């Protein structure tokens, strides 16, 4: 008997399932993927912003689905009916499922009470670092302004890795286009990269200064718009890189949830529904708080594949054990900062390593 497997989202873990679709079919699954036609790789977000070709930073999900004989539906996911086991789509259609896996990613968490919007911050244009394709629009906006010989006052909000990357690469893009954009970074913390070693944060600060980026810390970003008055000029554009939360659609799902997403057991199954799995940024591992980073989705992929096969065959499921420490490399436009626990390394060699890792990841699926 064929089991209907519906995959919602084309994140890192679901890419692994697409690549091993034959294994799932041999186990008795008929696979349907609900996802946009392109996968934008978060590891290349900074490269996309600084000018790398779109095709270099993304994958053609439509072609990948055809290659692996997987039915691909591009209508956006709208809702989930658990009792009747149906995925509802924005075009009014629905898909019945026996087993469901959710890999719908994340969005930016505004630095305001309760994650509210920040419209009160002024008349500036707002940009989010997630979903990644929004950065493509931001790059085009900077390019269009440069063609009009218009200088922009741009403020990046958030001093974590994403904020540092955005500020550095906006400055690098401005230099490449030959336009004197004013790029600034602000954060509520006393220093950049609060989770990194202090010496690494100082090094990153020097690199931003070299690129012409000024930054200010200890700002009360969640207490209104007063911090804007400290800027030397009104912001034309504000880029939010203030942490991640599960994609907006997650909040309406009829599943056990917490602030970090869909509550899952170590088997990657929903706490409340054995036939529903969740992975990546939209999932919240009950026994271990996970940072929202792509490496989790990458490492969950093989466990998810094994557990889908085991579920079909009535065998015990594997546990996902997150790594204690993982390598991350901050892209600072023309140099990189590699972080691994308390260890760090800055320089062009770190950036070359990041380029190699990112290119190798995407090459698996091209």
What is the band of 339 on the pLDDT scale with cuts at 50, 70, 90? very high
Same domain membership, residue 207 and residue 289: no
Confidence at residue 117, expressed as pLDDT on a 0 to 100 scale:
52
pTM for this one? 0.92
The residue among 220 and 132 whose pLDDT is bigger is 132
Same domain membership, residue 176 and residue 89: no
Q: State the average pLDDT over residues 148-170.
A: 96
Confidence at residue 121, expressed as pLDDT on a 0 to 100 scale:
66
Contact 234, 124 (CB under 8 A): yes
Q: Per the omega criterion (within 30 degrees of 0), is the bond before 240 cis?
A: no
Domain that holds residue 303: 3-106+245-313
Same domain membership, residue 261 and residue 180: no
Residue 340 tokens, joined: 């691994």
Q: State the total domains in the chain.
A: 2
Is the confidence at residue 185, as pLDDT, over 70? yes
Same domain membership, residue 73 and residue 185: no
The residue among 122 and 297 whose pLDDT is bigger is 297
Tens of pLDDT, residues 53-88: 999 999 999 999 999 999 999 999 999 999 999 999
What is the band of 109 on the pLDDT scale with cuts at 50, 70, 90? confident
Confidence at residue 4, expressed as pLDDT on a 0 to 100 scale:
98
Residue in 175, 128, 159, 133 with CA at minimum distance from that of residue 45? 133
Give the CATH number of the domain where residue 186 resides. 3.50.50.60
Same domain membership, residue 145 and residue 101: no
Tens of pLDDT, residues 258-274: 999 999 999 999 999 99
């Amino acid at each position: 008997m064929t089991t209907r497997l519906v995959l919602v989202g084309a994140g890192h873990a679901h890419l692994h399932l697409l690549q091993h679709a034959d294994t799932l079919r041999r186990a008795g699954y008929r696979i349907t993927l609900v996802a946009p036609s392109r996968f934008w790789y978060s590891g290349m977000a900074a490269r996309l912003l600084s000018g790398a070709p779109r095709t270099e930073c993304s994958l053609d999900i439509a072609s990948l689905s055809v290659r692996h004989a997987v039915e691909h539906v591009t209508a956006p996911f709208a809702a989930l009916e658990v009792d009747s086991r149906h995925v509802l789509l924005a075009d009014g259609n629905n898909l019945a499922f026996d087993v469901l896996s959710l890999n719908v990613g994340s969005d930016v968490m505004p630095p305001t009470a309760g994650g509210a919007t920040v419209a009160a911050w002024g008349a500036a244009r707002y940009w989010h670092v997630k979903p990644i394709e929004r950065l493509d629009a931001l790059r085009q906006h900077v390019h269009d302004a440069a063609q009009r010989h218009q200088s922009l006052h741009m403020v990046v909000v958030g001093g974590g890795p994403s904020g540092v990357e955005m500020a550095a690469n906006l400055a690098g893009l401005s230099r490449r286009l030959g336009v004197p954009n004013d790029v600034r970074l602000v954060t509520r913390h006393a220093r950049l990269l609060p989770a990194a070693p202090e010496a690494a944060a100082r090094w990153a600060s020097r690199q931003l200064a070299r690129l012409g980026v000024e930054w200010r810390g200890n700002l009360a970003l969640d207490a209104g718009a007063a911090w804007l008055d400290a800027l030397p000029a009104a912001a034309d554009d504000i880029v939010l890189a203030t942490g991640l939360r599960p994609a907006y659609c997650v909040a309406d799902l009829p599943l056990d949830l917490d602030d970090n997403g869909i509550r899952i057991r170590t088997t990657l199954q929903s706490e409340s529904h054995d036939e529903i799995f969740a992975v990546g940024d939209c999932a919240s591992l009950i026994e271990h708080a996970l940072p929202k980073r792509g490496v989790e989705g990458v490492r969950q992929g093989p466990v998810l594949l094994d557990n889908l096969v085991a579920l079909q065959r009535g065998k015990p499921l594997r546990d996902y054990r997150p790594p204690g420490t993982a390598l991350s490399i901050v892209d600072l436009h023309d140099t990189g900062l590699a972080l691994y626990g308390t260890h760090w390394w800055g320089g062009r060699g770190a950036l070359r390593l990041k380029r190699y890792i990112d290119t190798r990841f995407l090459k698996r699926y091209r």
